[in-house]
């Protein structure tokens, strides 16, 4: 699955939390959200700049993020649904997402789940998406 197909698939299935997702679908969408977030941040900076707040004992720089916030809202549900379907591909429930809350090692375990090859053949969440 290529970049365009993966992004299109994630937006087409933005509320589909059942079934399975290939590694390529998940990681291409992750790349899309990272690059899109960077571009949105650059647009925000060009349009709105930064606000510098000076108080008696500190200086704060606040970055306006209108475009970035809109981009984040648009990609929230597609990101969650592809993540759940990717966990399903490895034979795990979407509830395994919460392992990220385990200090120090939780995100490493989650990353391993996302990098791991999916189950071959059918599992409890559906047929192998690579066989499609």
pLDDT value at 59 more than 80 = no
pLDDT in tens, 83-112: 999 999 999 999 999 999 999 999 999 999
Q: Which domain holds residue 48?
A: 3-131
Mean pLDDT calculated for residue range 45-59: 76
pLDDT value at 132 more than 70 = no
Query: What pLDDT score was predicted for residue 76?
Result: 96
Q: How many domains does the chain have?
A: 1
The 3-state secondary structure of the chain reads CCHHHHHHHHHHCCCCCCCCCCHHHHHHHHHHHHHHHHHHHHHHHHHHCEEEEECCCCEEEEECCHHHHHHHHHHHHHHHHHHHHHHHHCCCCHHHHHHHHCCCCHHHHHHHHHHCCCCCCCECCECCHHHC
Lowest pLDDT segment from 17-26, 57-66, 81-90: 57-66
Average pLDDT taken over every residue of the chain: 90
């Amino acid at each position: 699955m290529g970049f365009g197909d993966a992004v299109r698939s994630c937006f087409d299935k933005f509320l589909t939390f059942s079934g399975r997702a290939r590694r390529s679908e998940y990681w291409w969408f992750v790349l899309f959200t990272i690059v899109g977030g960077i571009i949105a941040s650059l647009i925000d900076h060009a349009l709105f700049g930064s606000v510098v707040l000076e108080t008696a004992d500190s200086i704060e720089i606040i970055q306006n993020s209108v475009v970035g916030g809109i981009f984040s809202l648009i990609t929230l549900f597609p990101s969650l649904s592809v993540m759940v379907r990717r966990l399903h591909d490895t034979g795990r429930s979407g509830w395994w997402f919460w392992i990220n809350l385990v200090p120090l090692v939780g995100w490493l375990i989650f990353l391993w789940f996302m990098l791991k090859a999916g189950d071959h053949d059918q599992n409890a969440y559906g047929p192998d998406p690579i066989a499609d």
